[in-house]
């Protein structure tokens, strides 16, 4: 997965209750976790809408600047995009011809976006089974660029949060080339499910959680079962359920195990690589699974030129 040379990468996930940053280092073809830092937010942010709100923007800028103060390398941070700023549309691929599939997907993007096409940055993802149109609003990315400038961070890169989860699973060395895995990322007020088949992204679903409800994990389990029923063949169950995110606690894992008839574990995105003593201290209180999206963003940056 990794090349040679010295390289640093930092992934930043803005969650419901804080900013989560993972800094990875690649040296002599060996990756390691240097820092995992959380900066809390007093109020949950509705992103990307609140990027234009002065008070919310100021709070987020302060949190990002705090990452630099605490020693996180932010020369070229990678941010996860979610919500109305981005979308992933699944389409069938042209059998046996990736170039034709790629052309078809970009044509599909034009049909989906129409006159708004110029307002989006568009890319495609091709797996063995499907093609995906991936799009993100340019004005939202511009807002992040300006936010990083205000915070003293370098110019950012971007990825879709669901794809970052897939990268976290791959980077952890726990992706299987056979079978199906489901990943559930739980934040305080939101949840995200990603389905991975034969090591490749296949489907996603997001929903809001009621942070004041004691049944919030049960509701997540219902949504999880509903998507699995729609995506899997009759009688098929995922081979593994991975639970992660700031609210992906041992208690949440236990409840999901009761609801979903498959083996479930907390996802440690760093289990397959060396972790510095400082990084281990950083995530001791929250657990490494809280850094899954930020880790996935950092893993992707490590393998890119």
pTM check: above 0.75: yes
Cβ-count burial of 199 within 10 angstroms (0-12 exposed, 13-18 middle, 19+ buried)? middle
3-state SS of 111-142?
A: HHHHHHHHHEEEEEEECCCEEEEEEEEHHHHH
Which is higher by pLDDT, 305 or 190?
A: 190
pLDDT score recorded for residue 213: 60
Averaged pLDDT of the chain: 90
- Per-residue pLDDT averaged across 132-137, rounded? 97
* Angle subtended by helix axes 250-259 and 216-231, to nearest 10: 50
- Per-residue pLDDT averaged across 90-103, rounded? 85
pLDDT score recorded for residue 131: 93
> 261-293 pLDDT, tens per residue?
788 999 999 998 999 999 889 888 888 999 999
pLDDT band at 115 (very low <50, low <70, confident <90, very high): very high
pLDDT band at 135 (very low <50, low <70, confident <90, very high): very high
pLDDT band at 167 (very low <50, low <70, confident <90, very high): very high
- Per-residue pLDDT averaged across 38-52, rounded? 89
Q: Rounded CA gap, 180 and 241, in Å?
A: 9
């Amino acid at each position: 997965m990794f090349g040679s040379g010295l390289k640093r990468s930092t992934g930043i996930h803005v969650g419901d209750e804080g900013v989560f940053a993972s800094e990875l280092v690649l040296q002599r073809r060996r990756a390691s976790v240097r820092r995992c830092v959380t900066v809390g937010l007093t109020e949950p942010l509705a992103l990307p809408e609140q990027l234009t709100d002065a008070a919310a923007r100021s709070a987020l800028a302060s949190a990002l600047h705090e990452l630099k103060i605490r020693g996180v390398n932010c020369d070229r941070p990678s941010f996860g995009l979610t919500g109305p700023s981005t979308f992933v549309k699944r389409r069938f691929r042209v059998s046996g011809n990736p170039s034709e599939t790629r052309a078809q997907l970009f044509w599909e993007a034009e049909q989906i976006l129409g006159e708004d096409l110029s307002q989006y940055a568009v890319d495609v993802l091709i797996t063995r089974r499907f093609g995906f149109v991936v799009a993100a609003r340019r004005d939202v990315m511009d807002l992040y660029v300006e936010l990083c400038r205000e915070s003293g961070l370098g110019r950012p890169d971007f990825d879709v949060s669901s794809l970052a989860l897939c990268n976290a699973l791959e980077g952890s060395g726990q992706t299987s080339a056979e079978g199906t895995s489901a990943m559930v990322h739980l934040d305080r007020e939101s949840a995200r499910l990603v389905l991975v088949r034969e090591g490749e992204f296949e489907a996603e679903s997001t929903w809001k959680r009621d942070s004041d409800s004691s049944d919030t994990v049960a509701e997540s389990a219902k949504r999880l079962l509903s998507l699995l029923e729609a995506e899997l063949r009759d009688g098929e169950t995922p081979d593994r359920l991975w639970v992660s995110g700031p609210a992906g606690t041992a208690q949440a894992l236990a409840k999901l195990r009761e609801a979903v008839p498959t083996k479930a574990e907390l996802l440690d995105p760093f289990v397959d690589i060396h972790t510095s003593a400082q990084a281990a201290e950083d995530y001791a209180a929250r657990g490494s699974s809280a850094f899954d999206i930020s880790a996935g963003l950092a893993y992707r940056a490590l393998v890119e030129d």
